[in-house]
Structure 1
Amino acid sequence: MLESISSEIGNGAERMSKKGKSLLLSMVMLLQVSPLVYADETTPDFALETIVVTDSKIVGEGETTKVTSLNVKDKIDAGQINSVTDLLQDVAGIVVSTNPQSGTTVTMRGMTNERLVVAINGNIIENQGGLYRGRALEWDSLPVSNVKKIEIIRGASSAQYGGTWGGVINIVTTDTPGENKTYLKSSVGSYGDRKYSISNQGTSKDGKISWSVSADKKESDGFYRNNFKNSHDTNFNVIYHFTDKKKLSVAVTDSYRKEGIIVGNNQNANNENGWDSDYPIVPAQPNTTVNSQYLDGSYRKFNTQNYSLNYADDNWKLALYKNKQERNDWLRYSTSTDTAELTTDNSGYNWQQSRQLGNHMLTTGFDYRKLKFKVNTSSPSSLEAEINGYFVQDNWQLNKKILLGLGLRYDQYQSNNLLTSKEYSDTSQLSPKLNLTYQITSKEAVYASASRVFRPPTVSDYVRWQMNYTPSKISNSNYTKYITYNSLSWTLADWQKTIGELDTENGMAYELGWKKQFNDKFGAKVTGFFNDIDNYVTTYMSSGITSGPPTYNIDNAKIKGVEIATDYQFSKTLGMVFNYTNQHSRKSGDPLDPAGTEVTTLPRETLNLGLRYNNHQGFRASLDGQRIKTVDTADTAGYTLVNLGMSYTTKNEQTIALAVNNLFDVDYEQTAGIPMMGRNYSLSYQIGF
């Protein structure tokens, strides 16, 4: 695996443009002109919000607000957490939704999938979004048991990461697990949900070697028809400490999943699956073959592996990584069966160095990413994309009150169709970024940022653009109006000629905010944001159940909103968190929806309200409510959910926990036509020794 990554490093270096090499050399020279004064592993970022999973609360580091209080460590220990996304549920501006076909989606400031950057220890996991009703980013495969903290950078203000409008979610794993301990966990829940886990963590006597190892198995009968799940995961993380600040870590994650593909279940006479009253009503799901449906027994298998090698010194760090997913679909129809094999291979490396030069904290570095996608079906496809990124960030403390951030990032992007040797795109952009924080008092500050953004189409965008044209299944009236010819006689080439080749998104992102800690009990933060996106990439893929036209660009999309985050500590044992996000969007130049003015995939409002109780004698409880309001033209309506969690830990470290999700049994949909689960339960037990 490391040989493969090393090969990619050499190949990537050869492909660097002269302009990119010159820029990189200039950045490196900036760091060498003055002797090292001070360096830290992580450079403070203006918009950095760190969710720390180290005790019974999530604490916002670098924020003036005292607590964003989430009782998550205890949920992890009790086996309640299914994936990293459960740690993000109550964070302002973040919405976690589930599609029974394409998995979990995380939305930040209305931006989903391709417009977020997700990383583990700074190594980017290519978040390609829904791909063939699957997912290139498998949230459930990301390690949870050894999470140290989750860093959130909202918006596009960080020069370290490129290609994001919504922000960055960086999962940091523990490097000093402490005393040797083993945990056994088990959990049972609604719809045959069963989970088992064993983990071990510790440090050698001389403190040189630390490790965390875990393995878990999950099974579920599923809420929908033919919706069974069976998975097992292993995580291995070992760290060698040369000194307190010099360390080398190796992390390996292996994940296997087999899940049934939900099938149509209704009383329609044309439904080949028939009707089973034990499962909810869902529409019949067509295959790419006209009038054919998936039948019981159809399934998908995912094999996902993440590898990384990280070295951190006093003032620099280097990382090499590889993420690979192999997926196999076995599709059963009334008269035949079909198979599909899909492979996503993401590898890369990044280097970063930080120096304190007087009042300047200067960080510079580069990252290289290469992603390959291959599908073997009756219509095979093979694509490749490469991104070279170089950045420099200067955090300049002008005086005691003013902190100025000057960032510059250069990205070079190239995408190719490997089957036809056709180059789709070879573009680059220089993106300046400006941040300013003014400290009014020790407990109050205002901040602002303006950032140029460059986001190329993803591999999955190109897959949809080049091979997802299925005119016999298009029902959108705007689509049929746009085509003046007989749509059934059109070919994919006709359609691509009409909509043009995919172009790169670019534009500006702005942010203005205020935060204050009023007293020891109450803190608040208010942030306004505005994204002005040219060549906005969109698609008329519907709910993930039926096919639609391929991806294409519209002229412009404007998204603006405001986030409010507050917390209040009533007493040492009782606290409250309240988050509210309101956003609006406008689009123009959409040929398939010329009369439309809204981007319907964005929620209009998101509200989170949570109560936390911890008596410090073993009993803890949390009551969380979330309200989602959709835009008027969306396919789904808004909804309100309330979840309850309780746990009790004995003195000998045994924990029993009860979770009740959708406490008030609300009927709602996150995907049009697909009802979500009503009230459901989970009971778990853990012992540590």
Structure 2
Amino acid sequence: MRFTVFSLLFLCFGLTANAQFSINVSFSDISAEAVWPVEVYNKTTGEKFVLKQSPSVISVPENKAYDFTFYAEDFGTVDMTLSPSEKVVEVKFLKVELLSEVVIQKQREKLFALNKLRDVEETAIYAGKKTEVVSVDQLTVNKAVNNTRQVYSQVVGLTINEGSDGGLQLSVGGRGLNPNRTSNFNTRQNGYDISADVLGYPESYYTPPVEALQEIQVVRGAASLQYGTQFGGLINFKLHDPSTKKMEIVLRNTLGSYGLYTNFSSLSGTVGKFSYYTYFNYKQGDGFRPNSEFSSRNFFANLNYAFSEKTSIHFDYTNLNYLAQQPGGLTDLMFNQDPEQSNRARNWFDVHWNLFAFQLKHKFSSNDNFSLQLFGLDAQRQAVGYRQNRVSADDVPGSNRDLISGKFANWGAEARYLRKYKIGSQNNALLLGAKYYQAHNREFQGAGSTGSGPDFELADDAMTQYTYPNLNLAIFGENVFRISDKFSITPGFRYESIRTKANGFYRNVLYDLAGNVILDETINEKIDKKREIFLFGIGMAHKMDNGFELYGNVSRNYRSVTYNDIRTSTPGLAIDPGIDDEKGYTSDVGIRGKFNDKISLDASVFALYYGEKIGEYLAENPNGAAGLVRYRTNVGNALTYGFEAMVDWKLDRTFFDSPDFSWNVFANGALTGSEYLDSDAGNIEGNKVEFVPLVNVKTGTGVGYRNVLATIQLTYYSDQFTDASNSKSDPNDNTYGVFGQIPSYYVADLGLSYKWRNWKLESGINNFTNNNYFTRRATGYPGPGIIPSETRTFYVTLEVVF
């Protein structure tokens, strides 16, 4: 392995570097005042960069014409076609205050609303992969509560667990992957990990507020080679870049149904070589069910210093504290009678999250990029509540509650080097990287207090108590080989050395039917598991003459068993002590592009093979206790496959010719099939995979005139199973609530906005048809049982920018 890496480096440095040609440009407004900095998008090459002075020089690889879009803050965009020349080209900007909101939106689309990531970006390669980009500033949606179905409306095939906690947690899945806290994706913020433990507990208790985001980048399963071993791929939250002004203040206040109030305040700017972006976000609400109040405080700071055009450093700090009361789950009968009821008044959830990140970026030359990212997490999450296996049973005041507490301390470093080079006349790119990750986490579970408030202290000895020291070293690489001007092949690899430990004990307590203890023993455990994993993959892309691109990829995936899969005690759930890691493959083949800049299309077929898939099925309690449980184990080998398509049609560009009018319609659909190919468990083989609706559709339209924008969206999911045994729902079940399907449902949302100078008013109605539905049957917190989704809600947001 070491010889291979150094051989590639030696070969790469020996290859011919790209020749460079220059385009000289200057920037000014209509009164001839100089304008800078200016963001530049080279539409011909796909490159995006910032010029910080006027005049400036743009370097291009060939002596030919290039199409550019120029953007400066407080000004509109300018489109120009330029060629290398000794003469300075003048670029004239028009002030934004002279333009309507629709015109500004249309112009920003040229620079920001890319629907996929470029083949090569800084120190990353995305050629041949299925990628999607959500440009948040272009959305007219409920950003205050991170409304997931609206924000991700143009990302195909996602399944969503919805909550009513102000969007404090993101839970998305897809292609048969459990959406719970996005644990089957590698989740990052500005390129660094944000989950509790990437290997041992990859759940995301922190999600940045949508109001702070510039874009959301999604890379499907082939992302495993660059970003780690998750079947879902990558979700990266890119926060706003600092304003190019010396200081800019953004204030957003939102009022909504059920006592919702949020405040988002940001401060950003650029002074010489120093730039900064900070925000504070406060949320509180009562929830649409009793016992659902929540409050959160989130602070973020990003500090940057550019030593030169080639070298810069970046520091991020994130702090989140939130406390939420959880109303518990419902049985099928309770949901059908009244989905807004609650019989849990003593359940609480508490999170404290501290993230640190430091990044060094350096360009050795125009063809050589290097980045080093250091990151760390110091966090805690706690849950206390009454969790009776009989969901319909009322809470018993004065009884002990169940307490779970986890503390997470981890840090890591990731280095990336990307070199652009030529073989013959073709531009190629090599990426090499390495990642070191170390975690030392602690968790205990036992009897909590008998009170009703958020008291997170043990009342007795712990039932389970463990430390989890994890260590991970990864080496990865990809190379874009351009066989011709149109066709490229991108092979890649990832080597993982993983060591996970579990040191602690658990108590095995059994009861008879009368509730008497018949066994109470303490079992000590010391687990040390080492494994070495080699992942590989290949992607291909062919750029067609009509502007479309054919792409395809296949890659190996892997997911280590988490300690939540092993030792967390939950009523109604039993765990196989021999549960093991999951392995498999993902593949995409598709076509993407635009028809005459009017219709955008990304359509693909996919397949996901899941070896030794971890799942749950209905079984007698293997611990000898009475009653049925959901049994978690490696259920068997499974296959998920389907067709996904996203179409966006700009009707205004097709039928109208007015710069102040915009109108688009979009349809995002997925048809997904699935099957358990084999299983050692009875009555599983041939069943459907859980969390796979056959039909998954989001469609809508957006209309704008001058400074008014409006969107309407319809979401539909067909029914889906929640366990591998494909247990059917019983509408008369008034005991468990954890067995059965998630029924089909639809939900509709409306968003409006009006802008006047530096003020903006946003409003909308979520679930305006007031449907009763649910997206989750929880086996543990926040249940167990059915977790109803919100009924009709209203919101209004006032924004002002200084």
TM over 0.5: yes
Mark the structure with the bigger radius of gyration. 2
Identity among equivalent positions (%) equals 19
1:540 CA displacement: 4.5
Aligned residue in 1 for 2:747? 641
Tell me which moved more, 83-92 or 503-512. 83-92
Tell me which moved more, 594-603 or 605-614. 594-603
Q: Is the 8 A contact 1:158 1:407 kept in 2?
A: no
Q: Is the 8 A contact 1:521 1:569 kept in 2?
A: yes
Whole-Å separation in 2 of the counterparts to 1:26 and 1:114: 36
1:281 CA displacement: 3.2
SS of residue in 2 equivalent to 1:667: coil
Aligned residue in 1 for 2:255? 188
Whole-Å separation in 2 of the counterparts to 1:78 and 1:640: 18
Aligned residue in 1 for 2:559? 455
1:151 CA displacement: 1.9
- Out of 417, 429, 442, the position equivalent to 1:353 is 417
Whole-Å separation in 2 of the counterparts to 1:193 and 1:660: 14
Whole-Å separation in 1 of the counterparts to 2:526 and 2:711: 54
SS of residue in 1 equivalent to 2:564: helix
Aligned residue in 2 for 1:242? 307
Q: Does 1:659 align with 2:736?
A: no
Aligned residue in 2 for 1:406? 491
The Cα offsets for residues 146-173 of structure 1, whole Å up to 9 and x where unpaired, read as 4232222122256212212222111223
1:510 CA displacement: 1.8
1:191-210 equivalent positions in 2, closer than 5 A: 191-204=258-271, 206=272, 208-210=273-275
Whole-Å separation in 2 of the counterparts to 1:363 and 1:71: 26
1:177 CA displacement: 2.4
1:363 CA displacement: 0.5
Whole-Å separation in 2 of the counterparts to 1:577 and 1:77: 15
Q: Is the 8 A contact 1:79 1:187 kept in 2?
A: no
The alpha-carbon distance between structure 1 residues 95 and 330, as it changes in their structure 2 partners (threshold 3 A), is closer
Q: Does 1:253 align with 2:318?
A: yes
Letter matched to residue 231 of structure 2:
W
Aligned residue in 2 for 1:674? 787
Q: Does 1:520 align with 2:520?
A: no
Tell me which moved more, 298-307 or 247-256. 298-307
Number of aligned residues? 604
Whole-Å separation in 2 of the counterparts to 1:328 and 1:541: 28
Letter matched to residue 687 of structure 1:
V
Q: Is the 8 A contact 1:661 1:679 kept in 2?
A: yes
Aligned residue in 1 for 2:23? none
Aligned residue in 1 for 2:351? 302
Q: Does 1:169 align with 2:218?
A: no
Letter matched to residue 417 of structure 2:
Q
Aligned residue in 2 for 1:434? 538
Q: Does 1:600 align with 2:600?
A: no
Letter matched to residue 655 of structure 1:
K
1:104 CA displacement: 3.4
Aligned residue in 2 for 1:468? 569
- Out of 395, 399, 404, the position equivalent to 1:336 is 399
Q: Is the 8 A contact 1:36 1:355 kept in 2?
A: no
1:198-597 equivalent positions in 2, closer than 5 A: 198-204=265-271, 206=272, 208-263=273-328, 280-281=340-341, 295-314=344-363, 315-331=369-385, 334-338=397-401, 339-358=403-422, 359-377=427-445, 378=462, 379-419=464-504, 422-461=526-565, 465-468=566-569, 473=572, 496=577, 500=578, 502-540=579-617, 548=629, 551-571=632-652, 572-587=661-676, 588-591=678-681, 593-594=683-684, 597=687
1:310 CA displacement: 0.8
The alpha-carbon distance between structure 1 residues 166 and 91, as it changes in their structure 2 partners (threshold 3 A), is same
SS of residue in 2 equivalent to 1:73: helix
The alpha-carbon distance between structure 1 residues 164 and 27, as it changes in their structure 2 partners (threshold 3 A), is farther
Q: Is the 8 A contact 2:142 2:150 kept in 1?
A: no
Whole-Å separation in 2 of the counterparts to 1:468 and 1:417: 16
Cα RMSD for the two superposed structures: 3.7
The alpha-carbon distance between structure 1 residues 231 and 575, as it changes in their structure 2 partners (threshold 3 A), is same
- Out of 186, 191, 195, the position equivalent to 1:117 is 186
1:434 CA displacement: 0.9
The alpha-carbon distance between structure 1 residues 176 and 85, as it changes in their structure 2 partners (threshold 3 A), is farther
Tell me which moved more, 349-358 or 596-605. 596-605
1:81 CA displacement: 5.1
1:306 CA displacement: 1.2
The Cα offsets for residues 589-648 of structure 1, whole Å up to 9 and x where unpaired, read as 151653561112222221111211222x32111111111112364521111111100011
Q: Is the 8 A contact 2:140 2:751 kept in 1?
A: no
The Cα offsets for residues 63-118 of structure 1, whole Å up to 9 and x where unpaired, read as 89xx9997842668996353788532332222332256995311233434332111
Structure 1 spans left out of the alignment, 5+ residues: 1-18, 285-294, 480-491
SS of residue in 2 equivalent to 1:160: helix
SS of residue in 1 equivalent to 2:258: helix
Tell me which moved more, 225-234 or 445-454. 445-454
After TM superposition, the score normalised by the length of structure 2 is: 0.69
SS of residue in 2 equivalent to 1:559: strand
Q: Is the 8 A contact 1:78 1:685 kept in 2?
A: no
The Cα offsets for residues 449-491 of structure 1, whole Å up to 9 and x where unpaired, read as 1212222223322xxx235376xx46xxxx9xxxxxxxxxxxx
Q: Is the 8 A contact 2:164 2:287 kept in 1?
A: no
After TM superposition, the score normalised by the length of structure 1 is: 0.79
The alpha-carbon distance between structure 1 residues 387 and 34, as it changes in their structure 2 partners (threshold 3 A), is same
- Out of 680, 690, 713, the position equivalent to 1:624 is 713
Whole-Å separation in 2 of the counterparts to 1:556 and 1:507: 9
Q: Is the 8 A contact 2:607 2:639 kept in 1?
A: yes
Q: Is the 8 A contact 2:132 2:217 kept in 1?
A: no
Whole-Å separation in 1 of the counterparts to 2:702 and 2:552: 32
1:254 CA displacement: 0.4
Aligned residue in 1 for 2:61? none
Whole-Å separation in 2 of the counterparts to 1:516 and 1:250: 36
The alpha-carbon distance between structure 1 residues 151 and 344, as it changes in their structure 2 partners (threshold 3 A), is same
Letter matched to residue 383 of structure 2:
D
Q: Is the 8 A contact 1:108 1:167 kept in 2?
A: no
1:232 CA displacement: 0.9
- Out of 80, 101, 115, the position equivalent to 1:60 is 115
Whole-Å separation in 2 of the counterparts to 1:25 and 1:649: 56
The alpha-carbon distance between structure 1 residues 22 and 263, as it changes in their structure 2 partners (threshold 3 A), is same
Whole-Å separation in 1 of the counterparts to 2:150 and 2:469: 32
Letter matched to residue 365 of structure 1:
G
1:25 CA displacement: 5.1
1:337 CA displacement: 4.0
Q: Is the 8 A contact 2:134 2:152 kept in 1?
A: no
Q: Is the 8 A contact 1:408 1:431 kept in 2?
A: yes
Structure 2 spans left out of the alignment, 5+ residues: 21-42, 48-70, 72-104, 120-130, 364-368, 387-395, 446-461, 505-523, 620-626, 653-660, 727-739, 778-785
Aligned residue in 2 for 1:87? 151
The Cα offsets for residues 340-361 of structure 1, whole Å up to 9 and x where unpaired, read as 4321233211000001121320
- Out of 162, 173, 176, the position equivalent to 1:107 is 173
Whole-Å separation in 1 of the counterparts to 2:414 and 2:262: 36
Whole-Å separation in 2 of the counterparts to 1:609 and 1:532: 29
Letter matched to residue 708 of structure 2:
F
Letter matched to residue 767 of structure 2:
N
Whole-Å separation in 1 of the counterparts to 2:281 and 2:231: 34
SS of residue in 2 equivalent to 1:159: helix
